Structure 1
Amino acid sequence: MTLPLIAPMLATPGTLPPAAQDARWAYETKQDGQRVMVYLPGDGTVLLRARSGEDITAAYPELRPIGTALRTTPAVLDGEVLALDEHGRANFQLLQSRMGLAHAPARAARRAAQVPVHLVLFDVPYLEEPLLRLPYVRRRARLTELGLSGPYWSTPGAVTGHGAEALAATREHGLEGLVCKRLDSVYEAGVRSRAWIKIRNMRAEDVIVGGWLPGKGRLSGLPGAVLVGQRDAAGRLRYVGGVGTGWSEAERTELARLLADAASGRCPFEPAPRVRDARWVLPVLVGEVSYSTRTRSGMLRQPSWLRLRPDLPPEESAADLPRDAG
């Protein structure tokens, strides 16, 4: 059968709900992977779509057997593809070696043998019929009843109430954070909703690379720093600072190649920052940076590069910036 195309519901960055409302929320571990919608038409096949809607099925051949997990029952599942390190924790850098191989199935199969992935499932917006209007607590119950557990996929539990304890546990175990989901929330496809709140254990945000500065000394020929921005409410790319730390030598070399491919003669920031020797690029590369705080004008203090985010489209890297940012 033909399943409906469902865009994933997105969480809004925030803090724990008030203690008085704690029992109205469920808490799930925030996973550090690639968001994926899993389409099971009930004929033994599976289709995996990234958040952008791209078909990424061929990138993860070890997940094909999930196509028979529900036999003939058609379903659309929401989850996250992870690559786990030796401690069983999600490692996005490991996962990056698996991403982007949807059009290279032979390479994907070789990488699958070296870095297998694991799919965690946390919602079911369609099961024989649309479940979008059902509250989260009922969708979660339906998902749990499916018993989806296999060699490369599982359905981790959610905790109702006890949000402070759940968040403390993620910090204690070195996990990325927590997602808080209101028990009565419907599934808002494609919407970044306040009914789902994500809390990161580090202060980090996605940014768009708009330029770079040449390195000096041993970094000659490589980027010494990248110039990054975020889109404001009007869609303009506002400059939020330069990032010059956080890369390994291999990562900096790869970044140099990507920057060369995106070279442009035009500054993408509005307004253009006064940065001497800046080299501009098309605003197509998304990265994640950590930082200590923001200045009143929206600039990032002490930013450090964390990783490239090839799974995110540039238009999503927006922030609630002050009007005079940049």
Structure 2
Amino acid sequence: MAPIPSGALWSPPSIAPMTAVPGPLPVPDADWAFETKWDGVRCVLTTTGDGSVRLTSRAGNDITVTYPELQGLGSELRGRGVVVDGEVVVLDASGRSDFGRLQSRMGVANARRAGRLALDCPAHLMIFDVMYIDGHLLLDAPYYERREALSGLRPAGAHWSAPSYVRGHGAQVWDAVVHAGLEGVVAKRLSSPYTPGTRSAHWRKTKRVETLDVVIGGWTQRRGAAAGVPGAVLVGVAGPDGLRYAGSVGSGMSEREQSELTAYFAVIARPTSPFADQVDVAGAHWVEPRLVAEVTASEWTRAGRLRHPVWERLRPDLTRLD
């Protein structure tokens, strides 16, 4: 890579983020780098050398006002025109990304409110790539060279950092991520270029999911279907006061399973909610809590709800229809 000059003002280009395809960890993995998959908001950050910063979302929207605490990176890189790729997160006390807290920051366009939220719920930018430095586009440079260039920028502050990656040893990285309760792993081919705006097989994401059994306590009507056909089920888990509501699950359910549930629900319908806590779901229908389902989810939210739940199957071995 050509020497990188400094000390001048530059006009960096607008670069859309490159994205990964879902899939298993690559094997063999000697030609791959492994990073933590952070649960946040994808962001491209641009500095022009005069200390100013522009933040752009994955959809191309300007989110600069939303995260004022990231403006300080412009001062740290003053004199450099830079475009970096990363994930905006909110960290908990253990250093894990907390998407539930981040949601309070998302979409805020009022500068005064964003400033208050930055004090109460500060964001952190995890930087994992650099695409442009001081007039030099790095898109064709291999991943490992771009990471060397990123390290040379030394981005380290209260609200931003460039976490390291591991060459090879994907299984060990996965075990560490699962043990730490993080969202997953992103594998990136060491030789891969940066292809803006594309979903590339050179980057592969593997998410950690939790499998659990839940009790069905209600359902909502499937839009456009005959009356009585569920589009989603309302599920719960055992709590100290009874069945605690854990969320709505609709993704992953086949038409055969919807038909099967329709027949069951007609038999075990009840007029009131079986959940111990309040369930504020429009159009909810209630059933006796006798059916058990297996679902997967990425995590529990701070409100005690399943995040990204997916239906797997009904558990007839645990179901009570008597």
The TM-score bracket by the shorter chain reads 0.5 to 0.7
Shift of 1:227: 5.7
Deviation of 1:251 (Å): 10
Q: How many percent identity over aligned positions?
A: 43
Structure 2 letter corresponding to 1:95: L
> Structure 1 stretches (4+) deviating beyond 3 angstroms?
224-228, 249-252, 273-276, 290-293
Match of 2:276 in 1: none
2:33–2:190 Cα contact (<8 Å) kept: yes
1:29 partnered with 2:36: yes
The corresponding residue for 1:161 is 168
Counterpart of 1:64 in structure 2 is 71
Which consecutive residues of structure 1, in runs of 5 or more, have no partner in the other structure? 205-214, 217-223, 229-239, 256-270, 281-289, 294-303, 309-326
Q: Tell me how far apart the structure 2 counterparts of residues 166 and 227 of structure 1 sit (CA, whole Å).
A: 41
- Contact 1:39–1:76 at 8 Å: present in 2 too? yes
Give TM-score, length-normalised by structure 2.
0.66
2:96 match: 89
2:20 corresponds to 1:11? yes
Could you tell me which residue of structure 2 aligns to residue 125 of structure 1? 131
In structure 2, do the counterparts of structure 1 residues 98 and 161 end up closer, same or farther at CA, with 3 Å as the change threshold? same
Structure 2 counterpart of 1:104, from 110, 118, 128: 110
SS of the residue corresponding to residue 65 of structure 2 reads: helix
Q: CA deviation at 1:39?
A: 0.5
Amino acid paired to 1:114: D
Residue 320 of structure 1 corresponds to none
Map residues 109-258 of structure 1 onto 2, 5 A cutoff: 109-128=115-134, 129-202=136-209, 225=220, 242-245=232-235
Q: CA RMSD in A?
A: 3.4
Amino acid at match of 1:63: L
Distance 2:185 2:132 in 1: 24
Change (3 A) 1:305 1:174: closer
TM-score (normalizing by structure 1)? 0.66
Supply the distance in 2 between the matched residues of 1:50 and 1:243 (Cα, whole angstroms): 33
1:124 and 1:226, CA in 2 relative to 1: closer, same or farther beyond 3 A?
A: farther
Q: How far apart, CA to CA, are the structure 2 residues paired with 1:246 and 1:72?
A: 55
The 2-side partners of 1:241 and 1:84 are apart by 34
1:87 deviation in Å? 1.8
Q: Offset at 1:305?
A: 4.7
Q: CA shift at 1:292, angstroms?
A: 4.3
Count of aligned residue pairs for this structure pair: 240
**Where does the alignment leave 5 or more consecutive residues of structure 2 unmatched?**
1-9, 212-216, 224-229, 238-243, 249-254, 266-281, 284-293, 298-304, 310-322
Contact map agreement 1:11 1:196 (CA 8 A) in 2: yes
